Structure 1
Amino acid sequence: MEVAELLRELGGVATRSALLAVVGRRAVDHALAVGVVEAVARGRYALPELGEAVAAAHRLTGALCLTSAALHHGWAVKTVPDHPHVAVPRNRKVPTEHRRGVHVHYLDDPPGTIALDKTATLIHCLRRLPFDEALAIADSAMRSGDEVSLRQAAATARGPGSRQVRSVASLARAEAANPFESVLRSIALGVDGLHVEPQLLITSTRPWCRPDLVDRDLRIAVEADSFEWHGDRAALARDARRYNLLVADGWLVLRFAWEHVMHDAEHVRAVLQAVVHQRAQGPFGPSPAA
């Protein structure tokens, strides 16, 4: 798997250790040397589009917003934008030639800095983006230690969309490792009768394990599976052992591919709903220790 492709699947920004775990040191160092990825902070890497977005904001004398601002703050997104999102004052007239290659947004009072600040970015994203994209950014903000900004966004959001801001903020979890897991959880949260928690520790198997999503009452474990991230022989053996132990312990294990989660949410939702209906038909013994 190419480094840029992996970085895109990880949400556009990632730590060096996350990249090394999949593609190895030589590939990462080569990608840096040829400019396929860029170092944006110590041990953190991003796609070159991040630098291009900053240049676009400067060109329009505007501020990065939505997913472009999220990436600027080091938060992963479900989909890296095809063009930078730049906010300008509502009364500004932007010539057609300056709009090319940029998504222009109008705000009453955009800041004079290169991007909306963290709280404003979260309000903007959680208000305007679809639920799954908003949750991916909120989860990433939690992972990055920006819980205070997220709570401020929930407390200060007003007007249309503020209910979604508060809802997404309340659901954000640092345990979600990447947008893949966040988007899977966003689908699961919309399934009637399914109540999942991310990375819940299951202690009724030996060794203990932490599936990506767990419904402890229905004994359903849901995994966000990627061949690229778990595709070597050792990972295959480890995963097979873990899944078999869970099934033997009375768990139903579901595994969804990245392509299904990111591009076929209806399929994932239908499978989850069918399984919930099936599991709700009868008892499954005592709840697992967790």
Structure 2
Amino acid sequence: MALRELGGVGTLRELLAYTTRSQLTAALVAGLVHKPRHNRYCLVDLADSLRAVARTGGTASHLSAAQQFGWKLKHDPVRPCITLPRSARKPAGAYELHWADLSERELRRNVTSRTRTVIDCARAYDFDVALCVADSAVREGIVDRDDLLIAAARSPRTGRAKAQRVAEAADARRANPFETCLHVIAMSVAGMEVTPQGHVPGVGYVDLLERRLGIVLEAESLEHHWTKAGLQRDVDRYTKAARLGLVVLRFTWTDVMFRPDDVRAAIEDVVRWRTRQAVGCHGLVA
């Protein structure tokens, strides 16, 4: 569950915020968690993807490429994602197959480039899945939003609008797919203009902040909330927010990933009431 909330991959420090060393060791022994390299833990054995690439003679792409880069995803690929040269025949086996022209470097390294991986995912998948990939890419720091915007503009016409939307929305301030998916839900609510990691004087940084309406959205994981000290920090933090006249909506990973319609309805209800109340600026608007 901890790795699921983290996006399928995490460091030792990230995992120890959720679990213990002994529990992590037991999961490794049982094969539930894999350690592909130093200080990197994941749910999926990346060797499966590499074997699939070798069997097909293709190149790891899309979500499989994102996994190889160690990016956090909304969900793991159901099947290995493979891109083949346009002239290649369809191989036998259960794969997510794509055909495209590949660069010599991509063919040599058996994985699509970082920029191409983001654009491929943006063109192929739903917005929230693709934005999780894009956010992970820009958080890594090797590619930036400008790189993605240029690549999206140069991408094939089919799917270009989707790629441009993802590139424009990519933001390193969202810490993980949990926050990204919550933000995507908020984007779909009329009247909401939220800022990731918005700063509230006296409270600190919050996951998503709607300054005009005075609404805070928090993606609540177990990371900071399973101890007595964590509970006290929560109480202090949200009491301060209430004293500023803010409404704080807190959602769990299960809410966001499996009950998005309920999350959207809750946000819509609060937006409707705050709009009717013609709430002031709460000291947040410059």
Q: What TM-score do you get using the length of structure 1 for normalisation?
A: 0.88
- The aligned residue for residue 103 of structure 1 is 96
* 3-state secondary structure, aligned to 1:169: helix
- The aligned residue for residue 9 of structure 2 is 13
- The aligned residue for residue 267 of structure 1 is 262
Among 176, 182, 191, the alignment partner of 2:189 is: 191
Separation (CA, whole Å) in 2 of partners of 1:51 and 1:239: 41
**1:217 Cα deviation (Å)?**
0.7
Among 41, 44, 47, the alignment partner of 1:45 is: 41
Among 252, 276, 282, the alignment partner of 2:277 is: 282
* 3-state secondary structure, aligned to 2:268: helix
**1:216 Cα deviation (Å)?**
0.7
Structure 1 segments unaligned to the other structure (5+ residues) = none
- The aligned residue for residue 135 of structure 1 is 131
Q: Are the counterparts in 2 of residues 119 and 152 from structure 1 also a CA contact under 8 Å?
A: no
**1:44 Cα deviation (Å)?**
2.3
Q: CA RMSD in A?
A: 2.1
- The aligned residue for residue 175 of structure 1 is 173
Give the AA of the match of 1:99.
G
- More displaced 10-residue stretch of structure 1: 272-281 or 158-167: 158-167
Q: Are the counterparts in 2 of residues 221 and 253 from structure 1 also a CA contact under 8 Å?
A: yes
2:63 maps to 1:67:
yes
**1:139 Cα deviation (Å)?**
1.0
Q: Are the counterparts in 2 of residues 202 and 288 from structure 1 also a CA contact under 8 Å?
A: no
**1:20 Cα deviation (Å)?**
1.5
Among 62, 77, 82, the alignment partner of 1:81 is: 77
Separation (CA, whole Å) in 2 of partners of 1:284 and 1:160: 44
Change beyond 3 A, Cα 1:94–1:161: closer
2:164 maps to 1:166:
yes
Give the AA of the match of 1:285.
G
Give the AA of the match of 2:10.
A
Separation (CA, whole Å) in 2 of partners of 1:42 and 1:156: 36
Change beyond 3 A, Cα 1:235–1:229: closer
Q: Are the counterparts in 2 of residues 122 and 153 from structure 1 also a CA contact under 8 Å?
A: no
**1:274 Cα deviation (Å)?**
1.6
Q: What TM-score do you get using the length of structure 2 for normalisation?
A: 0.89
**1:153 Cα deviation (Å)?**
2.6
Give the AA of the match of 1:189.
M
Q: Are the counterparts in 2 of residues 181 and 224 from structure 1 also a CA contact under 8 Å?
A: yes
- Equivalences for residues 199-278 of structure 1 within 5 A: 199-203=197-201, 205=202, 208-227=203-222, 230-278=225-273
**1:41 Cα deviation (Å)?**
4.0
- More displaced 10-residue stretch of structure 1: 255-264 or 221-230: 221-230
Separation (CA, whole Å) in 2 of partners of 1:24 and 1:234: 18
Give the AA of the match of 1:260.
D
Give the AA of the match of 1:282.
Q
Separation (CA, whole Å) in 1 of partners of 2:25 and 2:223: 19
Change beyond 3 A, Cα 1:250–1:287: closer
Change beyond 3 A, Cα 1:73–1:152: farther
**Residue identity (%):** 37
* 3-state secondary structure, aligned to 1:250: coil
- More displaced 10-residue stretch of structure 1: 139-148 or 251-260: 139-148
Separation (CA, whole Å) in 2 of partners of 1:38 and 1:182: 25
- Deviation per CA, 1:43-72, whole angstroms, max 9, x where unpaired? 222234322111111111111111111111
